[in-house]
Amino acid sequence: MSNKMLLILIGLVLVLVLGMGGGMFMIWTKLPAASPKAAVPETEAEANPDKAKPEDIGAVVSVDTFIVNLADPGGNRYLRVTMDFELAGKPADKSAAKTAGEELARRMPQIRDATLMILSTKRYVDISTTEGKTSLREEILNGVNSLLASSQISRIYFKEFVIQ
């Protein structure tokens, strides 16, 4: 019985030592990657100052929520989407942003109509994936920009996108 206990005790100590050694090896290999000397973004930002600066965002206009039935057979699914439109141009150019915002407000009934017509032609399978949402965003962007004369929308941000 004492030989069995001794073997079990040696086995446990061996497993413990191997576990600690493996843990130390993992920590040792991860430390150089986390050290400040190995951090590449610092040197990359210094080499490319354009990449280090955040991109300027144009004026953003919120649009009311759209609720439409999807074009699925049976008509038992609907889409609720809320968006923001980013106007093209620099945010520092306040007069251009103001005129673009005024044109957007004047054309809002047409913009809402065009957007509703686009949204209501979509099926669940068309917009359930990320690619589908990106395609929808581009389609709405092109439709809205075709209605605007003196200004353009550069991006559309979905604030809410619910399919039920």
The domain locations on the chain are 2-52, 60-163
Phi, psi of 48 (to 5 degrees): -120, 85
User: 52-66, 84-98, 102-116: which range is least confident on average?
Assistant: 84-98
User: What pLDDT is recorded for position 100?
Assistant: 79
Q: What is the pLDDT of residue 51?
A: 56
Is pLDDT above 80 for 37?
A: no
pLDDT at residue 114 is higher than 90: yes
Does 36 score more than 60 pLDDT? no
Q: What are phi and psi of 87, to 5 degrees?
A: -80, 145
Q: Are 70 and 62 in contact (CB under 8 A)?
A: no
What is the C-alpha to C-alpha distance for residues 61 and 143, in angstroms, rounded to an integer? 16
Which pLDDT tens digit goes with each residue over 115-140? 999 999 999 999 999 999 999 999 99
The per-residue pLDDT for 53 is 58
Q: Angle at the Cα of 63 (from 58 to 69), degrees rounded to 5? A: 135
The confidence band for 110, taking pLDDT boundaries of 50, 70 and 90, is: very high
Q: How confident is the model over 16-33, as a mean pLDDT?
A: 79
Cα first-last separation, the chain: 68
Phi, psi of 162 (to 5 degrees): -125, 125
pLDDT, position 133: 95
pLDDT at 163: 93
153 close to 63: Cβ distance less than 8 angstroms: no
> 């605007």: which residue's tokens?
148
CA-nearest of 161, 153, 141, 125 to 60 is 153
Residue-wise DSSP of 34-84: HSGGG-HHHHHHHH-HHHHSPPP---EEE---EEEE-SSTTS--EEEEEEE
**Can you give the C-alpha Rg of the chain in angstroms?**
29
pLDDT per position as a tens digit, 85-100: 998 876 656 676 678 7
C-alpha pair distances (Å), 87 with each of 61, 67, 102, 158: 8, 23, 11, 15
Tell me the fold of 60-163. Answer: Tetrahydropterin Synthase; Chain A (3.30.479)
Question: Looking at residue 34, what is its pLDDT?
Answer: 55
**Which pTM value belongs to this model?**
0.64
